[in-house]
Chain A
Amino acid sequence: MRIYSEAELKNYTEEELKSFKCKYEIPDLDELEKGPWPSFVSDTKQEALRRRKLSDDQMLIGRDVCEDMLGQLQTSFDEGETHWKHGGIVGVFGYGGGVIGRYSDLAEKYPSIAMFHTVRVNQPASKFYSTDFLKTICDMWEYRGSGMMNLHGSTGDLVLLGTTTEQLEPIFYELGHVLDTDIGGSGSNLRTPACCIGKARCEFACYDTQDLCYDLTQYYQDELHRPAFPYKFKFKFDGCPNGCVASIARSDMSFIGTWRDDIRIDQDAVKAYIAGDIVPNAGAHGKRDWGKFDINKEVISLCPTKCMSMEGDQLVIDNSECVRCMHCINTMPRALKPGLDTGITILLGAKAPILDGAQMATLMVPFMKAEAPYDNIKAFVERVWEFWMEEGKNRERLGELMQRVTLPKFIETIGLPPAPQMVKAPRANPYIFWKEEDVKGGWNRDINDYRSRHKR
């Protein structure tokens, strides 16, 4: 599977690395090699040295691409402005997205980054990898690209940072034929979905986040690769309300695990927490002395609905009043567990500020079962898309459409009844719309009839 031999992968010595000097003067970047946090500059220099020592036939784009990137970055620091030209439209046949075109505006000075396109590679759910897979990507990318990447992009993709237009199709072919993997989304389409670690390594997961993420990603491949929407649309999948993949803030459609039965309590473990035999919050505060664990102070009185109490040595939860915020479970994970009748809550409309202000997602479906093949979830997705694709304006996110048409009209259109769970509070102003058919006698009235009772 590999391109490079072991000798080529060890083609420089520690001494050579220590004495490596970028071909440009980069004093600000050299400064960023200091300090304890992993230095992206030091890393880039390693790769720059490797490329200097590779033979000409072992790379297809500029040998000094890393050094040119560092050089341009230093110029940007000096001048306090970016040096990437606006936009850039490139891609692969058959798809309308997945590649972000980028061109330097200092191409004469830094020719190896004249074209510096990004390829988004759809990551496996929750970002577990085999090293075989990663090493193959590395060889392919060193050969056909800059060797620089992001692990990972904010949406979740494995990002290959910097190649030429000519190499986009070959890279896409290698990804598909050798790595059996696809590129991710960009543009006005379904972007690459992402999920938390879920059942792979978390006792809080209320549904199989990886499986739902993978299933919907595969099912909606067309919507992901060929932009057909008014604007971008993101799915994210959190296994519980802790929100480890931040779906409530960073996805147009947010799937958050929940349960509708009782929190499971192990009373012996509760006693062990109270006795100090188990540290609270799994030891998350372990490097500071917060005193002995006090279940009243740290759990019962912090419960947002005050639905917990101690009756003798028994912890009691009034589950009908619980809002499943996770605090007690987070604090005593060995004593408390989510219920067993689990599913998802669906929220809609999160987005960043542009254009009409930032939005978090609004609760739309309190509870939905989430079991393969997820037909109920797909049906709901399509109810929302059908409306947004028809009614959404150019570059209007779902959250903005919800605001523009208003929540009452939005839920009516997608066929949901109003419920108090959709709001933090009822409206305070009395500017209430009524439909004509809901008002006895309708709106078509005769002024003469009115005047027969009321003189001018």
Chain B
Amino acid sequence: MALSKERLGRYNPEKPQENRLTDLGPRHFWEFFPPVIKENYGTWAYHDILEPGVLAHVSDSGAKVYTVRCGAARFMTVEHVREICAIADQHCDGYVRFTTRNNIEFLVDSAEKLEALKKDLEGRKFAGGSYKFPIGGTGAGISNIVHTQGYIHCHTPATDASSMVKAVSDELFEYFKGMTLPAKLRVSMACCLNMCGAVHCSDIALLGYHRKPPIVDSEYISKLCEIPLAIAACPVGAISPDKTESGLKSVKIKGERCMFCGNCYTMCQALPLSDKEGDGVTILAGGKISNRISMPKFSKVVVPWLPNSFPRFPEVVENVKKIVEAYAKGANKYERVGDWAERIGWERFFEQCELEFTEHLIDDYRLAYDTWRTSTQFKFTDAAWALSKEAGGIE
């Protein structure tokens, strides 16, 4: 059936249930597999990373499929997707796929096709000069940054996603194109602490954060919100019922108890909290998802706050690079950032990464005690001498 061009297409608003198709679900995956994938489904024997961004999978039958992985901005227009399709039509029999980190993968079944494909991809640039299809993102390097909507589409962000990701990716580009790190290093980004995506379990994570309590729109809150939901939305019990002078139902927020998570605004539009000077970026590190060697780990907060310096976030970029470079220098082969930090101790991590340790990094939420050091096992760093001196332990 052809696409409709009527303003309302096949939909008849007079009879909304007529001809309505529901519960179709997605298309079946088998329809979209290239022949070489169908023919060798479930019979893959091994794979090789031929060079950064290029994989070869060999099946039991000896058949091979070559994959070229390309970076992508995730946000893309139909114009760009049509170009992806043109490439796939020309080189890949009309098939293409996307990865769980939003890279693009083009698959071909011969070495000759591979060379032509690579050459084509590397030659394509946007008018502004950036690569349209940079090849990379494999092996022990830095692949695409999983990220969120930011100012492009969301109502609760404390920062922007696409711009920060572009700024950081530009600076980490050599790691996308190379495989020079001790292990893969996953960077992710979320524009508020709802953490849509992977921020809580990435090697390095960038998180939009507020630092001012919400403003209560008292004249409207009882009209716009279910007040008990807003009260129940607070993880720290900072919100309680209140009344305005004119007798309208409202809420009051204890500023000293609020830690600016924004969840009450999610539930109640009369409690906005975004703020130019207050909002910024928190950096976390040391999380992972795989079960390889060590168990999956949460990321830990290592930089409590940096300003939203649009559009290139130089402070964020600088701190990310400090972590990546210290890790690249210090970690053993196969060690993820979290494995490295735990082996050398977080006190050494802060020293090696040249990051300041502040009170904001000490957990004070519910199970916080488990994260304090209940041991005499520690390493002497400058921070230890400063602490000892302050306590009167040394001159």
CA distance A1 to B85 in the complex (A): 15
A455 at the interface (CB under 8 A from B): no
* Nearest-neighbor residue (CB-CB) of A79 within chain B: B276
| CB-based nearest A residue for B226 | A394
In the complex the two chains form, is A33's CB within 8 Å of B292's CB?
no
Q: CB-defined interface of B168-186 with A at 8 Å, one 1/0 digit per residue?
A: 0110010010111110100
Cβ contacts under 8 Å, B265 to chain A: 86
Which has the most chain B C-beta neighbours within 10 Å: A162, A287, A355, A357?
A: A287
Q: Compute how far the CA of A69 lies from the CA of B49 in the bound complex, rounded to whole angstroms.
A: 39
Known: A40-B73, A360-B201. A73 touches B97 (CB 8 A): no
Known A45-B127, A93-B20, A358-B200; judge A124-B99 contact (CB<8 A): no
Query: With A and B bound together, what is the CA distance between A331 and B102 in angstroms?
Result: 25
CA distance A127 to B47 in the complex (A): 20
Q: Which residue of A lies closest to B280 (CB)?
A: A80
Whether A392 sits at the interface, judged by CB under 8 Å, is no
A395–B194 alpha-carbon span in the complex (Å): 13
Question: Total A-B residue pairs with C-beta atoms closer than 8 Å?
Answer: 472
Tell me, in angstroms, the Cα distance from A20 to B295 when the chains sit together: 51
Contacts A93-B20, A147-B77, A243-B289; A33 near B128 (Cβ below 8 A): yes
A131 touching B96 by the CB < 8 A rule?
yes
Q: Within 8 Å of chain A (Cβ to Cβ): is B72? A: yes
User: Are A334 and B196 neighbours in the complex by a CB distance under 8 Å?
Assistant: no
Interface of B is mostly: loop
Scan B222-249; emit 1 where CB is below 8 A from any A CB, else 0: 0000000100110100000000000000
Complex Cα distance A225/B253, Å? 36
Chain B residues within an 8 Å CB radius of A288: 140, 179-181
Within 8 Å by CB of A178, from B1, B20, B127, B367, lies B1
Chain B residue with Cβ nearest A19:
B127
- Are the C-beta atoms of B289 and A248 separated by less than 8 Å? yes
How many Å lie between the Cα of A433 and that of B274 in the bound state? 45
A203 vs B59: C-alpha distance when bound (angstroms): 9
Count B-side interface residues using an 8 Å CB cutoff.
149
Judge whether A241 is part of the interface by a CB distance below 8 angstroms.
yes
**What is the total number of residues of chain A having a CB less than 8 Å from a CB of chain B?**
158
B26 touches A181 (CB 8 A): yes
A181 B24 Cβ-Cβ under 8 A: yes
Does the CB pair B95–A283 fall under 8 Å? no
CA distance A424 to B272 in the complex (A): 41
Give the residues in chain B near A108, CB-CB below 8 Å.
Answer: none
Q: Are A40 and B166 in contact (CB under 8 A)?
A: yes
A101 to chain B, nearest CB (A): 10
Q: Which of B10, B193, B333 is the most central at the interface, judged by chain A CB atoms within 10 Å of its CB?
A: B333
Q: By the criterion CB–CB under 8 Å, are A77 and B11 in contact?
A: no
Segment 97-153 of A: residues with Cβ below 8 Å from B? 100, 102, 116, 118, 122-144, 147-152
Given the known interface contacts A37-B170, A79-B276, A304-B294, the answer about A203 and B152 at a Cβ–Cβ threshold of 8 Å is no
C-alpha spacing A259/B78, complex, angstroms: 42
* Residue of chain A at shortest CB distance from B96: A129
Known interface pairs A129-B32, A360-B298. Does A354 touch B77 (Cβ–Cβ under 8 Å)?
no
A3 to B160, CA, bound (A): 34
- Contact of A35 with B by CB under 8 A: yes
A82→B166 contact, CB < 8 A: no
* Contact status A246-B198, CB under 8 Å: yes
State the Cβ distance, B146 to closest chain A Cβ, in Å. Answer: 7
Given A182-B24, A352-B194, also A194-B100 (CB < 8 A): yes
Q: Which residues of B contact A149 (CB under 8 A)?
A: 75-78, 81
Q: Which residues of B contact A181 (CB under 8 A)?
A: 24, 26-27
| A397 beta carbon closer than 8 Å to chain B | no
- A353 with B78: in contact, given A83-B151, A285-B333, A394-B229 (CB under 8 Å)? no
> Contacts A37-B131, A60-B7, A154-B197 hold; do A81 and B274 have CB atoms under 8 A apart?
yes
- Residue B80 interfacial (CB < 8 Å): yes
Q: Is the CB of A32 within 8 A of B46?
A: no
Say yes or no: B77 contacts A47, CB within 8 Å.
yes
Q: Would A356 and B235 count as touching, CB distance under 8 A?
A: yes
A242 at the interface (CB under 8 A from B): yes
Chain A residues within 8 Å of B71, by CB: 37-38
Given known A-B contacts A73-B151, A85-B155, A358-B195, A222 and B9 have beta carbons under 8 A apart:
no
Query: CB distance A174 to B29 under 8 Å?
Result: no
Assembly CA distance A131 to B52 (angstroms): 25
**Nearest CB on B from A109, distance (A):** 15
B310-A77 in contact (CB<8A): yes
Taken together as a complex, chains A and B put the C-alpha atoms of A135 and B129 apart, in Å, by 26
Contact A154 B162 (CB under 8 A): no
* Given A60-B7, A83-B151, A205-B42, also A47-B78 (CB < 8 A): yes
Are B97 and A50 within 8 A (Cβ)? Answer: no
Q: Mark B65-79, 1 if CB is under 8 A from A, else 0.
A: 101000111111111
Question: Closest chain A residue to B92 by CB distance?
Answer: A131
- Check B277 for interface membership: any CB of A closer than 8 A: yes
Contact between A87 and B155, CB atoms less than 8 A apart = yes
Q: Is A66 in the interface zone, CB < 8 Å from B?
A: yes
Instruction: List the A residue with the shortest CB-CB distance to B101.
Output: A244
Candidates B11, B163, B198, B310; contact of A170 at CB < 8 Å? B11
Bits for A295-321, please: 1 = Cβ < 8 Å to B, else 0.
Answer: 000100011100000000000000000
User: How far, in angstroms, from A174 to B2 measured CA to CA in the complex?
Assistant: 9
**B24: nearest chain-A partner, CB-CB:** A182
> Is B41 a contact of A200 with CB atoms below 8 Å?
yes
- The answer to whether B4 and A39 have CB atoms under 8 Å apart is no
Q: Which residues of A have CB within 8 Å of B129?
A: 33-34
Q: Which residues of B contact A130 (CB under 8 A)?
A: 31-32, 94-95
For residue B277, which residue of chain A has the nearest CB? A80
- Whether A282 contacts B170 in the complex (CB less than 8 A), given A37-B130, A81-B276, comes out as no
Q: Does A442 sit at the interface, judged by CB under 8 A?
A: no
Q: Smallest CB–CB gap between B314 and chain A, Å?
A: 12
CA–CA, A229 and B297, complex, Å? 29
Q: Please tell me if B62 contacts chain A, counting CB pairs below 8 Å.
A: no
Distance from A217 Cβ to chain B, minimum over Cβ atoms (Å): 5
Bound CA–CA A45/B96 (angstroms): 24
Bound-complex Cα distance A29 to B150 (A): 14
Q: B355 at interface (Cβ–Cβ under 8 A)?
A: no
The reply to whether A102 and B153 form a contact with Cβ atoms under 8 Å apart is: yes
Which of A322-330, A366-374, A407-415, A444-452 lines the interface with chain B? A322-330
**CA of A170 to CA of B290 in the docked complex: distance in angstroms?**
42
Q: How far is the CA of A395 from the CA of B97 in the complex (A)?
A: 35
Contacting residues, chain B, for A138 (C-beta < 8 A):
78, 81-82, 85
A-B complex: 6 closest residue pairs judged by Cβ atoms: A33-B128, A80-B276, A35-B170, A284-B139, A86-B269, A42-B126
Assuming A39-B126, A287-B141, what are 13 further A-B pairs, CB within 8 angstroms? A32-B311, A46-B80, A85-B155, A124-B27, A130-B94, A154-B197, A170-B4, A174-B4, A177-B19, A182-B26, A249-B198, A286-B52, A357-B235
Q: Can you list 12 A-B contacts (CB < 8 A)? A: A33-B126, A38-B73, A66-B77, A80-B310, A82-B154, A85-B269, A176-B24, A180-B24, A203-B57, A217-B26, A242-B292, A323-B291
